[in-house]
Amino acid sequence: MALSRRRVNRVATISMHTSPLDQPGTGDAGGMNVYVVEVAKRLAALGIEVEIFTRQTARDLPPTAEIAPGVSVRHVTAGPYEELDRADLPAQLCGFLSGVLRTEAMYEPGRYDVIHSHYWLSGQVGWLAKERWGIPLVHTMHTMAKVKNLLLAEGDKPEPTARVLGEEQVVGVADRLVANTAAEAHELIELYDAPRDRVTVVNPGVNLGVFQPASQGAARHRLGLPQDAHVLLFVGRIQPLKGPDVLMKAVARMLVEDPSLRSRLVVAFVGGPSGNGLARPSLLTELAGELGITDVVRLSPPAPQHELADWYRAADVTVVPSHNESFGLVALESQACGTPVAAASVGGLRTAVKDGVSGILIDGHDPHEWAVALRRLLGSPAWLDYLSGNAVRHAEAFGWSATAARLVEVYAGAMSRLHRVPIAVNS
């Protein structure tokens, strides 16, 4: 039976390992959580219902929670309720898949038009669900093991072979692969042999209603920061991949080279330990002590979006020294608030930041090179003003509504080309 429908009415979004309800910046919650929530809301605004399947991590969570009109989160019991290390999650794939299939079986056939899975674990679930339901699978990697293993941070562990194989399987069965940038599309094709005609670039967006310019002085007052400070900001999960140590070591060099900076410099880290960083949750405190910069470092827990926007506005420069980023939403959020970004010239950051226009891109992770670049920025108010104005204009081109509209085209294209007979599932 050919599925000739082009209208997308309901999407089954699979985000197994991290819930859209979790606070980004800690645990496994990050840019992907933001992506899933923001896209779902924009799809709902277009009249498309979205049901997000995620693993239940607390006993008192309701089976279903509505986060916006037309957007619901379905909590699937799979394994213990407490947070599991990501390495332990593959053992829960069968249980999670069973819960997803049981949900669909409660309804008449054809409840979902398309599956959109996020990250390779969800892709494994989406693969089997698509075969059972006879609908297309659209998959977004967000991060890829082969790419991460090529760009490991010092002290970071390579991704296991099981993940590499799992990603290769998902690439082989997905009807469409959504890449965040052209660079990611190239990696899918070159490293995973993804068919070119199945790969589509859809840039993520930024919530322009929340992240927008406002008074730096007012933001500093609310956050308790000195009005005359030089503020450098790091936002994200504290783990080797994100490179917080690069910023720490660069700051130490800056203070050696220009001791007068110490009286005015504030280096803020907003986020919590994640991934390999959980093995040493006090890393930043210990490293600041070892480097002798405790007096200029301020550590703050992950913040909700409205507070995070204040952090961006309060900063002179947001620093993103990641060893790899599939896109880099932090960089885009900062620019939308009018704060330039100093970012590593890797992955999607080359798209998120317009080098020399909305911020600067720095090759490599040598703390000396970063120290030189950051001192040059802080010492050039006119340059910062130039970058700030361009940063806002650059970010305005990346709205979530445009992302959702493009995804609808991807979904419809996948549906129009699929020829499959759905397999009945008995409830």
Q: What's the Cα-to-Cα distance from 72 to each of 21, 37, 427, rounded to whole Å?
A: 11, 10, 22
Is there a contact between 183 and 383 (Cβ–Cβ < 8 Å)? Answer: no
C-alpha to C-alpha distance for 227 and 281, rounded to whole angstroms: 30
C-alpha to C-alpha distance for 25 and 10, rounded to whole angstroms: 29
Q: Is 209 annotated as a binding residue?
A: no
Is there a contact between 210 and 306 (Cβ–Cβ < 8 Å)? Answer: yes
Q: Is 242 annotated as a binding residue?
A: yes
Q: Is 172 annotated as a binding residue?
A: no
Token digits for 248?
A: 């720490």
Q: Is 174 annotated as a binding residue?
A: no
Q: Write down the residue that tokens 């917080």 correspond to.
A: 244
Q: Is 131 annotated as a binding residue?
A: no
Q: Is 163 annotated as a binding residue?
A: yes
Q: Is 102 annotated as a binding residue?
A: no
Q: Is 411 annotated as a binding residue?
A: no
Q: Is 313 annotated as a binding residue?
A: yes
Q: Is 17 annotated as a binding residue?
A: yes
Neighbours of 352 (CB within 10 A): 31
C-alpha to C-alpha distance for 104 and 208, rounded to whole angstroms: 35
Q: Is 30 annotated as a binding residue?
A: yes
Q: Is 219 annotated as a binding residue?
A: no
Q: Is 119 annotated as a binding residue?
A: yes
Is there a contact between 272 and 27 (Cβ–Cβ < 8 Å)? Answer: yes
C-alpha to C-alpha distance for 50 and 9, rounded to whole angstroms: 9
Q: Is 368 annotated as a binding residue?
A: no
Q: Is 237 annotated as a binding residue?
A: yes
Q: Is 40 annotated as a binding residue?
A: no
Q: Is 54 annotated as a binding residue?
A: no
Is there a contact between 333 and 308 (Cβ–Cβ < 8 Å)? Answer: yes
The 3-state DSSP class for residue 113 equals coil
Q: Is 276 annotated as a binding residue?
A: no
Give me the residues paired with residue 327 across strands. none
C-alpha to C-alpha distance for 310 and 313, rounded to whole angstroms: 5
Q: Is 253 annotated as a binding residue?
A: no
Is there a contact between 411 and 112 (Cβ–Cβ < 8 Å)? Answer: no
Q: Is 23 annotated as a binding residue?
A: yes
Q: What's the Cα-to-Cα distance from 392 to each of 236, 330, 401, rounded to whole Å?
A: 21, 14, 17
Q: Is 315 annotated as a binding residue?
A: yes
Binding-site residues for 1D-myo-inositol 3-phosphate, in ranges, read 17, 28-33, 86, 119, 143, 163
Binding-site residues, in ranges, read 17, 23-24, 28-33, 86, 119, 143, 163, 237, 242, 312-313, 315, 325, 333, 339
Binding-site residues for UDP-N-acetyl-alpha-D-glucosamine, in ranges, read 23-24, 31, 237, 242, 325, 333
Binding-site residues for Mg(2+), in ranges, read 312-313, 315, 339
